[in-house]
């Protein structure tokens, strides 16, 4: 697990939740089970056939032996007849010996007599009536015994031992080969199945890669093309394509609506704000309560006009209708100009500029809008005795403008979201301060529209720094 944690690529490849891994493991498991079942049943059947054949042979010898003794003993003595019958039925693999009812050895196969093999068998006590397979001294023996009754006289017991080691070893070697071949077949099958499943799932992966990074603005431009994909996947792609087109249409309608409404409301509200301000300016006979009410109405009207302007800017940016008048801008001069513009702010603004001029390709007015917005936020979220520092640096390719405050800071979990529209960290706190939650999303849109990037670094109750990188001219 530790090993897997350390290798993200390995984790992605062998993610147990992926369909590819699940299908591969599932089919491989079924194949292994199937092959194991076949191998086990083959081995059991072969083992049975092998042992049964030898058992039948042993039984046959046991049944025939008393009869042979009887025939031989017609010609020679009973002892000699017994020995002759043993000699006749013995082979290097088949051993026989006869014991008297008292347990004395009466006759035995020449191999036993010469002590070549199987001598330890003669002393065995509990040899059964029915042939039984035993592993003794690393050899497989089929052992059985039966009473030796000749012409109604019980001469004792005849013991038969069949050495089936050669057959058993051949069988085990065969089984070993079969298991090895099955294992190799399973591995090859699993690799082939994994490859086949990977190939079959490729269209799905292509589909997810095509749709992964679509932004809301590009919904309508996406074309999911899947050549040679299975019909089910093509159907899914078609459905997704239709959904994306519908989403894109409704997104476009929504943007159009926001843009139209903002535009339509801004004009009458600007007129209302103008009337309110002129009434406030000229109304010498207004009571304090009337003045206060008019001031509140005027400031709310201004706030709403700002909100509508922000919405309009965003809608234009998203429609691709925001135009940048790109020119060479000397940032040192622009920042000094901005410092002059915010001189009336309650917080002091400090500039840290390099001696060399830093020039970028950008839209001067949009850059002003961006920086004023960030300074505005710095002022809103800091105390008046905490200055806002604006630093300017440059490296080989980018100019870096930093707007640093020592204010309340932004919690880590909110830092990735503050550039979203209408996102405000602490709604209650932000409401008192004012603002719409649109400022940073406009800032981001404008900076990116000029080919730059913006980042935030912040620590709670320590302060916030916004870093803007702009391409040098």
Residues that bind ligand ADP (CB under 6 A): 377-378, 381, 405, 407-410, 418, 423-425, 430, 435-441, 464
Instruction: Please report which helix (H) or strand (E) contains residue 114, including its range.
Output: none
209 secondary structure, DSSP code: H
Written as six digits, the tokens of 98 are 């006869």
For residues 350 and 392, what is the distance between their CA atoms, to the nearest angstrom? 11
Please identify, using beta-carbon distances, which residue of 127 and 301 lies nearer to ligand ADP.
301
Question: Minimum distance between the CB of residue 395 and ligand ADP, rounded to whole angstroms?
Answer: 24
For residues 302 and 408, what is the distance between their CA atoms, to the nearest angstrom? 26
472 secondary structure, DSSP code: B
Question: Minimum distance between the CB of residue 457 and ligand ADP, rounded to whole angstroms?
Answer: 11
Please identify, using beta-carbon distances, which residue of 248 and 406 lies nearer to ligand ADP.
406
Please identify, using beta-carbon distances, which residue of 160 and 379 lies nearer to ligand ADP.
379
Token pair 């159907």 in the structure block, residue: 235
Residue 195 exposed, middle or buried by CB count within 10 Å (0-12, 13-18, 19+): exposed
Closest by CA position to 468, among listed 416, 392, 383: 392
Question: Minimum distance between the CB of residue 352 and ligand ADP, rounded to whole angstroms?
Answer: 18
The HSE-up count of residue 240 (CA atoms within 13 Å, CB side) is 18
Please identify, using beta-carbon distances, which residue of 130 and 459 lies nearer to ligand ADP.
459
1 secondary structure, DSSP code: -
Question: Minimum distance between the CB of residue 186 and ligand ADP, rounded to whole angstroms?
Answer: 59
Question: Minimum distance between the CB of residue 417 and ligand ADP, rounded to whole angstroms?
Answer: 9
Closest by CA position to 262, among listed 211, 226, 297, 313: 313
Question: Minimum distance between the CB of residue 471 and ligand ADP, rounded to whole angstroms?
Answer: 24
Say if residues 379 and 388 touch (Cβ distance below 8 Å).
yes
What is each CA distance from 55 to 58, 119, 133, 159, 160, in whole angstroms?
Answer: 5, 21, 9, 14, 11
Question: Minimum distance between the CB of residue 448 and ligand ADP, rounded to whole angstroms?
Answer: 15
Please identify, using beta-carbon distances, which residue of 237 and 438 lies nearer to ligand ADP.
438
Q: Which residue is nearest to ligand ADP (CB)?
A: 435
Please identify, using beta-carbon distances, which residue of 72 and 381 lies nearer to ligand ADP.
381
Question: Minimum distance between the CB of residue 425 and ligand ADP, rounded to whole angstroms?
Answer: 3
Partners of 350 in beta bridges:
389
Please identify, using beta-carbon distances, which residue of 158 and 347 lies nearer to ligand ADP.
347
Question: Minimum distance between the CB of residue 449 and ligand ADP, rounded to whole angstroms?
Answer: 17
Please identify, using beta-carbon distances, which residue of 301 and 375 lies nearer to ligand ADP.
375
Neighbour-count burial for 40-69, b at 16+ CB within 10 Å, e otherwise: eeebeeeeeebbeebbebbbebbeebbebb
Sheet holding 139-150, edge to edge: 105-108, 94-99, 153-163, 139-150, 132-136
Instruction: Please report which helix (H) or strand (E) contains residue 95, including its range.
Output: strand 94-99
Please identify, using beta-carbon distances, which residue of 131 and 409 lies nearer to ligand ADP.
409
């Amino acid at each position: 697990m530790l090993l897997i944690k350390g290798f993200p690529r390995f984790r992605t490849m062998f993610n147990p939740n992926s369909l590819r891994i699940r299908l591969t493991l599932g089919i491989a498991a079924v194949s292994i089970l199937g092959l194991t079942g076949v191998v086990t049943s083959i081995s059991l059947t072969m083992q049975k056939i092998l042992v049964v054949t030898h058992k039948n042979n042993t039984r046959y010898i046991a049944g025939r032996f008393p009869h042979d003794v009887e025939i031989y003993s017609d010609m020679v003595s009973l002892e000699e007849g017994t020995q002759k019958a043993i000699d006749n039925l013995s082979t290097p693999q088949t051993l026989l010996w006869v014991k008297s009812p008292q347990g004395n050895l009466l006759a035995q196969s020449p191999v036993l007599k010469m002590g070549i093999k199987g001598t330890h068998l003669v002393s065995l006590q509990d040899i059964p009536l029915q042939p039984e397979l035993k592993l003794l001294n690393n050899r497989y023996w089929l052992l059985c015994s039966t009473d030796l009754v000749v012409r109604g006289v019980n001469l004792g017991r005849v013991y038969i031992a069949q050495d089936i080691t050669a057959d058993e070893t051949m069988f085990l070697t065969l089984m070993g080969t079969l298991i090895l071949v099955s294992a190799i077949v399973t591995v090859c099958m699993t690799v082939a199945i994994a490859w086949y499943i990977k190939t079959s799932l490729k269209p799905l992966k292509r589909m997810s890669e095509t749709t992964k990074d679509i932004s809301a603005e590009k919904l309508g431009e996406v074309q999911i093309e899947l050549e040679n994909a299975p019909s089910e996947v093509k159907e899914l792609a078609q459905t997704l394509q239709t959904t994306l087109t519908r989403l894109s249409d409704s997104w476009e309608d929504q943007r159009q609506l926001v843009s139209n409404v903002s535009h339509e409301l801004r004009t009458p509200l600007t007129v209302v704000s103008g009337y309110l301000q002129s009434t406030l300016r000229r109304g010498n006979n207004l009571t304090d309560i009337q003045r206060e009410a008019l001031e509140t109405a005027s400031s709310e009207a201004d706030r709403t006009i700002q909100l509508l302007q922000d919405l309009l800017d965003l809608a234009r940016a998203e429609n691709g209708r925001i135009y940048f008048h790109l020119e060479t801008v000397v940032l040192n001069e622009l920042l000094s100009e901005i410092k002059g513009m915010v001189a009336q702010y309650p917080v002091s603004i400090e500039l840290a500029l390099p001696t060399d001029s830093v020039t970028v390709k950008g839209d001067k007015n949009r850059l002003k809008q961006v920086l004023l917005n960030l300074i505005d936020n710095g002022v809103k979220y800091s105390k008046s005795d905490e200055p806002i520092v604006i630093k300017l640096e440059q490296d080989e390719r980018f100019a870096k403008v930093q707007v640093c405050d020592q204010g309340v800071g932004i919690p880590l979990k909110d830092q990735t979201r503050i550039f979203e529209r209408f996102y405000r960290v602490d709604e209650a706190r932000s409401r008192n301060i004012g603002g719409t939650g649109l400022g940073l999303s406009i800032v981001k849109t404008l900076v990116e529209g000029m080919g730059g990037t913006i980042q935030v670094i912040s620590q709670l109750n320590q302060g916030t720094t916004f870093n803007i990188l702009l391409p040098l001219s």
